[in-house]
Amino acid sequence: MPSHLHRYDEPGHTHFWTISCYRRLQFFHDDGMKRVVIEALRTLQTTLGVCLVGYVVMPEHVHVLLYPHARGTDVPIPIGNVLQIFKQYVGRHAKERLRDVWRRHQRLWSEPLNRWAKGSFDKQEVMNTRGYDRNIFTERELREKLDYCHKNPITHGLVGDAADWKWSSYRFYEFGDRSVLPMDWDGCWPIEW
């Protein structure tokens, strides 16, 4: 890890992540790949017991809001550990999915991804090593980031309404839809978990 990268594991803080795909390739254009990200988030919920607040899976990046504490504890799980588990899960299972698609079709869903699969890039990573991690201190900021996540598919021209993008927490909060991935946050501030 770069020496100038600082993460702050403060009790009571929520974290907002942005993790981009390697070279902004659209690995998550494929629904099967989006499911890999969903399962990685579910693993954080079940294995570490963190409180998942919100998310959106976009074709070339992921935004996540989470409270990195195991239920009933005041001590945060180091965010670097949480990120490592998430990225390792996505990296391993995404490559399995990509290999499976390649075996069946001898191609992926875009020419840049085909070049990646053939080894034309310097690395065969799915996600960038570095990402954006920000501590959230206030309810206002938390709600702004959650709204940002939910509007991201509209901003990028993927859908006209947030309800039409099933790969985010919007449908859970708006309709109580637990079909993709239920959230843990009850809407109260400060978060009690």
- H or E stretch covering 19: strand 14-20
Asked, for residue 187, whether it belongs to a domain, the answer is no
Asked, for residue 183, whether it belongs to a domain, the answer is no
Q: Locate 6 and state its tokens.
A: 């600082």
3 state SS of 101: helix
Asked, for residue 191, whether it belongs to a domain, the answer is no
pLDDT mean by block of 10 residues, the chain; 193 residues: 68 95 97 98 97 98 97 93 96 96 96 95 90 94 98 98 98 98 97 93
- Whole-number pLDDT of residue 4: 60
Asked, for residue 36, whether it belongs to a domain, the answer is yes
Asked, for residue 109, whether it belongs to a domain, the answer is yes
- Whole-number pLDDT of residue 137: 93
> What is the C-alpha R_g of the chain?
17
Asked, for residue 126, whether it belongs to a domain, the answer is yes
CATH code (residue 112) = 3.30.70.1290
Q: Locate 22 and state its tokens.
A: 């390697």
Chain-centroid distance of CA 136 in Å reads 16
- Whole-number pLDDT of residue 131: 84
Please give the residue range of the domain that contains residue 67: 14-175
Alpha helix segments (H runs only) across the chain: 31-43, 79-105, 111-117, 139-155, 170-175
- Whole-number pLDDT of residue 57: 98
Asked, for residue 81, whether it belongs to a domain, the answer is yes
Q: Which DSSP string corresponds to 111-158?
A: HHHHHHHTT-SS---SB-S--EEEEE-SHHHHHHHHHHHHHHHHHTTS
Number of compact structural domains in the chain: 1
Asked, for residue 72, whether it belongs to a domain, the answer is yes
- Whole-number pLDDT of residue 13: 93
- Whole-number pLDDT of residue 1: 43
